[in-house]
Each structure stands twice: as C-alpha cells, then as structure tokens.
Amino acid sequence: MVDENLYVNLLSEGLISAESFEKIKQKDAEPLFSVHWEIKTLLYLGILLLTTGLGLLVYENIDSIGHVFVLLFIALICIGCFGYCFKYKLPFSTSKVKSPNAAFDYILLLAATSFVIFTGYLQYQYKVFGIHYGMATFVPMLVLFFVAYYFDHLGILNMAIACLAVWMGVTVTPRDLLEKFNINSSTIIYTYLTLGVLLIIKAFATNYFSIKKHFGFSYQHYGVHAIYISLLSGYFHFYDFPFALAWLLGIGVLSYFLYKDATRQNSFYFLLLIILYSYVAISSLVIRMFSGGYNTGATALIFMYFIASAIGLVLILIHFNKKLKQYDQL
C-alpha cells in the first residue's frame, strides 16, 4: 500500500517527467496481471511428472520394449533437438550470444541431457567403451564443452565442468561434496587440487583472452571451492606430519591472490568465500595451539577467540559490503 498521490507529488517536485507520469498512468488504467510464475511452475511440474511416469513405464516394461528401441528413441530426441538448435542458432561470437527465442535454451538443454543419457545407456548396457571408463566420460565431456561454447549455454557449461570432474575421478558440485567426498585418500586430494588449479587458470584465461567472459564465473566458482576444500583436507589428512603447515601456507598464498582478484572484480561472493575458508584455516590453527592441555582456562580462551574473531569477521563483512555496494546499484 503506497500513497495514491505519490506520482502526483513526484511530478510536481520535478522528480519524474510528464512523459513517465503518463506511462505510469496508462499502465495503472489498464493493469496487466502476469501469470508467468504460475505457468512456469505448472510447466516444470508437468515435465517432471511426465518424464518420471514415462521413465517408470519403460523401466517396468523393458523386457517387452527392448533396449534398442529405447536407445533409438533417446537418439531421436537428441538428434531432433540438436537439429532444431543448429537451424535456429544465432551466429557464433566470442562474446555473449543471446538465444533466438525463449524455448531455445530448454531445447538445447534437453538435447545435451539426452546425449549424456544416450552415452551412459550405451556404456551401461552394451559396454561400448569396455572398461575404459575414462573414455566413457571423456567423450561426453568434450561434446558438452563444445556445445556450451558453440551455442553459449551456461547450464551446459556447468554440466561439462561436472563431467570434467567425474572424468578426473571426483565430483565437483557442493551437494556431492558433502555426501560422497572422502577426505581420507591422498590421491583424491591431489586430483582435486589439480582440478581446482585448472579451473582457476581457465577462469583467468577466460577473462584475459575475452572468450565468453560470462563463463568466467562458473569456472571460478567451482575452482575456488575445489581448491580450498582440497587444501583444507590436505592439511587435516597430513595433520601429524611436520609439513602439514605447508597446506595452510598454500591457503594463505591462494587467499592473497584471490583477494586481489575479487576486489578488482568487485565480487562480494568470492570475497565471502575467501574470508570464510581462510577463517576455517586460521581457527583450526588457533584451536591446535590452545588445545595442548585440556583445562577450563584453555576452553575459556577458545571461547573468547571465537567471540572476538566472529565480531571481527562481522565488521570485515560489513566493511566490504559497504565498499562494494557503491558498484552494486544500477
């Protein structure tokens, strides 16, 4: 509920032009009521139900349908969707390309997904790649990266990055990290570290060479998480070794460079990540120092450390938030 005379007042104060006032008046005279959200919800629900239902139907009746038919069907969807995309796409460019219409992005997503399902099915049922699981993920990864760049689709780029991570023997999205990530194996830690470094380099290269600059965020997002988590798990994995501190040193160096980059890009998101991950590292070091003898004094000191450091972090966050806010508006 806002004052009815608001626009009249704004007009008389000269804050809005007569032209804008007319536009608003006209809009209010014949208001449009958008059911966009409702239609989207129904659409999403419908697709979810239909695909689940069909999937179950096929699953229950696979003996009478046969794998070849199912594969053929998926291949048809895939080819059809890709055909549509090749026909209607806008010409390639190294900067951002808008999609020609609203449905285009979804059709492309369907094409890419069905391709991934197709290769997965082929491998699962017929062992096309034999025991070369690397190849089984490498081929879809290449295709996904190509499609992401060729048609300029962020969602497919994310799928491709996930595929890259799978190919390297790990999964990269946060959800899987929490569920499956096994921090006890040093091989996984090193793989993860390599992946993180690769993605960060890719993010910088993307910005430096200006090839699809808007892809930089995705690379950096996954890269930063991967590299910090692997460094932290490296530290805990080698906790009792003398060179464990080297991992924390790595975090320090990394934070410094990422901080420089984040302030240059004015990105509060990455700043927040840097601060939080570094905080975990510093806190683990502090606890390690204090927890030599278990007595009330040490406990009280640890409590005080957390109170003081959290207040400090709050002040830092507020500071950066205010600093970056001036770029935020408009």
- Which residues ranging from 116 to 175 are in contact with other proteins (CB under 8 A)? 116-117, 119-121, 123-124, 127, 131, 133, 136-137, 140, 154-155, 157-159, 161-163, 166, 171-175
- The DSSP letter of residue 16 is S
Give the chain's largest Cα–Cα span: 77
Rank residues 38 and 240 by Cβ distance to other proteins and give the closer one: 38
Phi, psi of 90 (to 5 degrees): -85, 160
User: Cβ neighbours of residue 70 under 8 Å, at least 6 residues apart?
Assistant: 58, 62, 121
Q: Is 310 in the site for other proteins (CB under 8 A)?
A: yes
Q: Is 182 in the site for other proteins (CB under 8 A)?
A: no
**85 and 111 in contact (C-beta within 8 Å)?**
yes
**Stretch touching other proteins by CB under 8 A, among 41-49, 186-194, 205-213, 245-253:** 41-49
**127 and 94 in contact (C-beta within 8 Å)?**
no
Q: Is 77 in the site for other proteins (CB under 8 A)?
A: no
Which of 36, 87, 98, 264 contacts other proteins by CB under 8 A? Answer: 36
Rank residues 163 and 247 by Cβ distance to other proteins and give the closer one: 163
**Stretch touching other proteins by CB under 8 A, among 26-34, 78-86, 229-237, 245-253:** 26-34
Report, in Å, the least distance between residue 328 CB and other proteins: 7
Positions in 282-301 near other proteins (CB under 8 A):
296, 299-300
Positions in 238-277 near other proteins (CB under 8 A):
266-269, 272, 276
In whole angstroms, what is the distance from residue 7 CA to residue 59 CA?
Answer: 61
For helices 216-237 and 268-290, angle between their N-to-C axes, nearest 10 degrees: 0
**114 and 158 in contact (C-beta within 8 Å)?**
no
Residue with tokens 């001036």: 326
Q: Is 68 in the site for other proteins (CB under 8 A)?
A: no
**Stretch touching other proteins by CB under 8 A, among 86-94, 204-212, 286-294, 314-322:** 314-322
Rank residues 63 and 240 by Cβ distance to other proteins and give the closer one: 63
Both tokens assigned to 166: 């799978």
In whole angstroms, what is the distance from residue 160 CA to residue 285 CA?
Answer: 36
SS3 210: coil
Rank residues 53 and 246 by Cβ distance to other proteins and give the closer one: 53
CA nearest to 224, candidates 245, 191, 201: 201
Which of 51, 185, 186, 210 contacts other proteins by CB under 8 A? Answer: 51
Both tokens assigned to 281: 């590292």
Rank residues 20 and 239 by Cβ distance to other proteins and give the closer one: 20
Q: One symbol per residue from 79 to 98: x for binding other proteins (CB under 8 A), - otherwise; what is it?
A: --------------------
Both tokens assigned to 183: 């921090």
CA nearest to 222, candidates 237, 205, 208, 201: 201
The count of residues interacting with other proteins (CB under 8 A) is 100
Which of 4, 18, 29, 38 contacts other proteins by CB under 8 A? Answer: 38
Report, in Å, the least distance between residue 189 CB and other proteins: 20
